[in-house]
Amino acid sequence: MKFNKFGQVFLVSAIALILATTFTACNPVTIDYLFVAGNKQSPGQIQTFQVDRVSGALSTVGSTVSSGGVKPVSEAVSTDYKHLYVANQGDSSLVEFSISAGGALTSVKSVSLSSEGNTPVAIAMNTAGTLLYVVNLYQPGCSSSSPCGGALAVFPVAADGSLSAPVANGGLNYFPLGINPTAVSALPDGNAVYVTSYDPGLGLGRIYGFGATSAGALTSLSGSPFAAGVKPSAIASDPTSRFVYATDFAQNQMIAYSVIDKGVLRPLINGPFRTGSQPTAIQVDPRGKYIYLTNSLDNTMSAYAIDISTGTPAAAVNPTGAASNVTGTQPVAVLVDPGFGRYVFSANFLDNSLSGFQLNPNTGTLSQAQNGPFPSIGQPTAIAAVPHGNHSIQINQP
């Protein structure tokens, strides 16, 4: 069968269109949507960015939206990537947003924290997507003028993303913590949750560990609270639930732990491990191979390779202070993109920017993303993200 010239041109065009459509469907240009909370304005604001698959460059999507409260400080996304939760410290509110397929946010509901404690500092979702952990600086009835210990509240999350009343702890709607809680991490296997805190009077940092049930009931782990340097500022778990890592802001170090007996922490004997100056945020990459943390005083990102058999962080794969590791001014949050696990971002509080880095999945080394740093809303404090499209990241197993 022969085609005339017009038919040949039409056929070539049709094939090209099909191939382009197929390539785009399998390899979307946008691999993630990033949600950045900033607290310079009142109410706070959330800005949405899309991440370019090839370069890691960020570009804004739509307009900023209100965080639904004052001074947003922490974000979490549901495991089905359809909901974003934002904790507003200034008015002790917890706000749920729905996330559209194109990354647009719509406010759904606001919860005013009171009987669960007040002044939230950090939130985290469990891997099953059924529980939202909320850490409050103060227990009910306390404040900066009348301080007391912190409080951990556990909110069940329904299939539609809505939050139920907090899990009861006897006659309380929270689980007591020590003073000055700073961060929270839920073990991926669901068996435990950890909260960092510090006592400046005693010069002691602690990790409060709780055994957790699927219904959200918590029980203090044997040996809790665990020693954690002087001023722990952030905490993260590896995806296999075998190791936990905490940053010590005061001593410029990272403390690594093995997880034993369904959640009990045991420090690695060859730690702690040196970081840059004043580490503020930490995340383990989705593969469980590398650790990335921000250093707020020297404006850098530290990167470490993990020995998957022992959990030991190897010497930094990028020297702290190298040009490839430089962030904007005072990085306070870090995120490894959930779509491909190929890019790392920091939120830089003082110069209102986001820094982007390309992650080499074979070595963990970082290189600056194209066209960064990227301007953001004022005083960014938190980053969360959802993948765009279906991607698979292989988790390292021992």
> What is the rounded average pLDDT for all residues in the chain?
90
E strand segments, 171-323:
175-176, 181-186, 192-199, 204-212, 218-220, 226-227, 232-237, 243-248, 253-260, 264-267, 273-274, 279-284, 290-295, 300-305
Could you report the per-residue pLDDT of 12-45, keeping only the tens digit for each? 344 333 333 333 334 448 899 999 999 999 999 9
Judge contact between 238 and 187, C-beta under 8 A. Answer: no
Question: Looking at residue 2, what is its pLDDT?
Answer: 43
- pTM beyond 0.75, yes or no: yes
pLDDT of amino acid 322: 63
CA-wise closest residue to 333 among 385, 276, 382: 382
CB atoms within 10 A of CB 261: 13
Q: Report yes or no: 340 and 53 within 8 Å, Cβ to Cβ.
A: yes
Query: Please, which residues have CB within 8 angstroms of residue 295's CB and are 6 or more apart in sequence?
Result: 252, 275, 276, 277, 278, 279, 280, 301, 302, 320, 331
Structural domains of the chain in order of their starting residue, each with its CATH number: 114-375 (2.130.10.10)
d(CA 217, CA 236) in angstroms, rounded, equals 21
The count of C-alpha atoms lying within 13 angstroms of the C-alpha of 210, restricted to the half-sphere facing its C-beta, is 24
SS3 245: strand
Span 254-259, average pLDDT: 98
Task: Tell me the pLDDT band of 395, cut-offs 50, 70 and 90.
Answer: low
Tokens encoding 137? 């600086």
The C-alpha atoms of residue 173 and residue 352 are separated, in whole angstroms, by 37
Nearest to 232 by CA among 216, 217, 251: 251
